[in-house]
Amino acid sequence: MRSRKFLLALVPVPVPVLILALSLAWASLGAPTALAKSAEELAAATRNSIVTLNTASRSGAADGGLGTGFAVSTNLIATSLHVINEGRAITVKLADGSTPAVIGIEAWDRFTDLAVVRVETSSLIPLILGDDRELHPGAEVVAVGNPLGLERSVVAGVLSARREVEGVEVLQVALPVEGGNSGGPLLDRDGRVVGIVNAKSALTRNLGFATPVTRLKPLLEHPNPMSYSRWLRVGELPAGTWENHLGGNWRQKGGRILVEGPGTGFGGRALLYRTQRADGPTYELSVRVRLTDEAGAAGLIFGGDGQDQHWGFYPTGGQLRLTEFAGPDVFSWRILGTKPVTTYRPGDWNLLRVQVEAGRLRCSVNDTLVYEQPWSGGFGARLGLAKFRDTEAQFRDFAAGTNAPAEPAWPAEVIAALGDARPPRWTETDLLPSLKTHLAAGRRELARRARELETEAARLRALSLRAHREQARDELVRLLAQPDAQVDLVQSALLLAWHDQPELDVAAYRAQFEQLGAELKARLPATATAAERLQALREYLFTEHGFHGSRHDYENPANSHLSEVLDDREGLPITLSIVFLELASRIGIPHMHGVPLPGHFIVRYAPPGEDAQLLDVFDGGRRLPHDEADALGSQAAGVPVRSEFLEPATKRAIVVRMLTNLAVFAERSGGQAAALPYQDLLVAVAGDARAEARQRVERAQLRQRTGDLDGTREDLQWIVDHVPPGLEVDRVTELLERLKER
């Protein structure tokens, strides 16, 4: 709720009346509150407000998960986000046994793990939301939920403390929390909700955590609704491309396929068949895979029948395995080999490749041949991916055909320059006898060599990152060198994300964005007016897809990375404006551009002959009155701002503003050195000598504070050599001379 201030009028009050009022107030403070209820009374009072939530598994089975929710209005239910699992079907069961249909997700927030579900009923009895800030350690609390499926169970305890867990304040409670309690209300003894139960301790049963209710209230005030049909499509794999067999939670994110949770097959086996079949007896298939848990297994399947029979080539336990799966369980499986391979990189991306020829099979990892043997043709022509046990895995760059891509070859000059940086070949058996004989000296020598290798590894990683960032910089400079109308803003914004995340698949996210535009455009009749298109864009982005402003985690870099904004549908005003503006251009809405309001980027729609509209995409695309925009801008700038006179932002200016945000946020969270990569980009994309001089002054200051005096002198010398008209350089020259003396 928005805070309100109440002013009490000072009026004369007769002394006896005043004394009586004070006496009554004092007595009420000293007496026990009449509202306090026993756990039994709370259980009865909340019974019809507590609901059971079941989510489907990825395969559609109704056993994906169990949790609790509670009514916050006659048709809204609050719970934890992890209870309803993005993209899963949700079943709501009320106290009377009825199951109203889910209409949509009214609000959700990953940072606080909260969600609000809208259902097709008006009979819910909402609980009163209290104020957790009035609750102090030692206060009695009661949790109501469905632990282990035991519906509407009640447990009493106390608030132990307030903690910060992964940057989020939580309430630590001393009471048993089990699976199924998540999402349920934490009540004070007056029956008011003070928290939402969201986690149990793995160490002891009488310890749990809850999200403060003060985190829920802003979601109710500023929802980010999404239709239920769209919710069910979050992260879904492209229709007609993949077929799930044996369950597992398979989903897509930015060109990658992610899988988690055990499948229903023996050993947690889960299969994902590609609808495309092998083109005959000779073909190749490949994929890059990364396992988060090497105790599990995940990789390629081929020669399959679309059901339980197939061949598999995959890493497990840091080794590469080839297996023939002739049926549903281990008794019909035949492990043909499990080999360690020096080129396999645990925890990193690895390229798996299978080459099938008539009568011959070759399997390799990172272009190192692992298996070569006769091939009888397998069980069929189906290809795809598999995972086993409870591991999480990611896949990208799946390819099938006659020319699957190979790992890029290193240029000879690079290999020569690096030299042979590999460690010497030795075995523990060879070294141990000598080490035990000369233990002290041997340990010192091994420690010295370990430090050398660690130093060299750090240098190589830094070199790799620098090369990547310079490539991102060069590509961004090339894009922004074009006339503004020709600058590809989506690609530019994705390059900023790629600069920070070398493994980002820019092409996949670009395709994801274009798919949004194509889908929306296909819905619109050719005769749709600009106003109708604008309304359709608002509904598509903010109602169907749930794009919204980040209110709890504003400075998270994810909000400035267009890729993650597309994934999470959450961002800053400027990144959401990019999505809005670029989709508007794709569906034929002209006369729309960004406005660089200080502190809060907005969009202006100004068709000829009509009054200009300001739109706040951070708040659902609502119309923003000029006086409200002026107040926002003036507060941020510290001087009066008139929004109607602000010029449209160029695409270069938008990129510069995004980079400035990233630099500021990085410095706040990681110090001045963390801001330098963004300041380097700001210098590179400045656009003209005056702007570059300003950015070089900023970078010189950062470099000086981080101890890079050579870099500081370089920037100051550039300013002196390229003095833009009107720039006072006496101070710069003086500082440069002093630095030259050091």
Higher pLDDT, 358 or 267: 267
Q: Report pLDDT digits (tens) over 484-495.
A: 999 999 999 999
Give the pLDDT mean for 705-714.
92
Q: What is the pLDDT of residue 301?
A: 97
Residue 28 has pLDDT above 60, yes or no: no
> What is the pLDDT confidence band of residue 1, given thresholds at 50, 70 and 90?
very low
Q: What is the pLDDT of residue 191?
A: 92
> What is the pLDDT confidence band of residue 376, given thresholds at 50, 70 and 90?
confident
Q: What is the pLDDT of residue 205?
A: 54
Distance in angstroms (rounded) separating the CA atoms of residues 141 and 462: 51
Q: What is the pLDDT of residue 532?
A: 96
| Half-sphere exposure of residue 383: CA atoms within 13 angstroms, side-chain side | 20
Q: Report pLDDT digits (tens) over 64-80.
A: 568 899 999 999 999 99
- C-alpha R_g of the chain: 31
Strand partners, 615: 603, 623
Query: Tell me, which fold does domain 39-229 have in CATH?
Result: Thrombin, subunit H (2.40.10)
Residue 414 has pLDDT above 70, yes or no: no
Burial 435-469 (b: 16+ CB within 10 A, else e): eeeeeeeeeeeeeeeeeeeeeeeeeeeeeeeeebb
> What is the pLDDT confidence band of residue 32, given thresholds at 50, 70 and 90?
very low
Number of residues that make up the chain: 742
Please give the single-letter amino acid code of residue 274.
R
**Both tokens of residue 385?**
């991916």
In three-state secondary structure terms, 96 is coil
65-71 and 50-55: which strand pairing? antiparallel
List for the chain the helix, strand, coil content (%; round to 5): 40, 25, 35
Give the pLDDT mean for 40-58.
83
168-174 and 153-165: which strand pairing? antiparallel
Domain boundaries, the chain: 39-229, 242-401, 412-481, 484-649, 656-660+671-740
Burial 9-37 (b: 16+ CB within 10 A, else e): eeeeeeeeeeeeeeeeeeeeeeeeeeeeb
The lowest-confidence range among 27-36, 378-387, 522-531, 713-722 is 27-36
CB of 172 closer than 8 Å to CB of 207: yes
Q: Report pLDDT digits (tens) over 426-435.
A: 667 777 888 8
CB of 285 closer than 8 Å to CB of 543: no
* Spatial CA neighbour of 300 closest among 372, 355, 353: 353
> What is the pLDDT confidence band of residue 14, given thresholds at 50, 70 and 90?
very low
Residue 599 has pLDDT above 80, yes or no: yes
Query: Tell me, which fold does domain 484-649 have in CATH?
Result: C8orf32 fold (3.10.620)
Higher pLDDT, 255 or 246: 246
Cα–Cα separations (whole angstroms), residue 707 to 458, 468, 700, 723, 742: 20, 24, 11, 25, 12
| CATH code that applies to domain 242-401 | 2.60.120.560
Q: Report pLDDT digits (tens) over 166-189.
A: 777 899 998 877 666 789 999 999
Q: Report pLDDT digits (tens) over 90-101.
A: 999 998 999 999
Residue 423 has pLDDT above 60, yes or no: no
In three-state secondary structure terms, 19 is helix
> What is the pTM (predicted TM-score) of this model?
0.79
* Spatial CA neighbour of 149 closest among 40, 47, 261, 52: 52
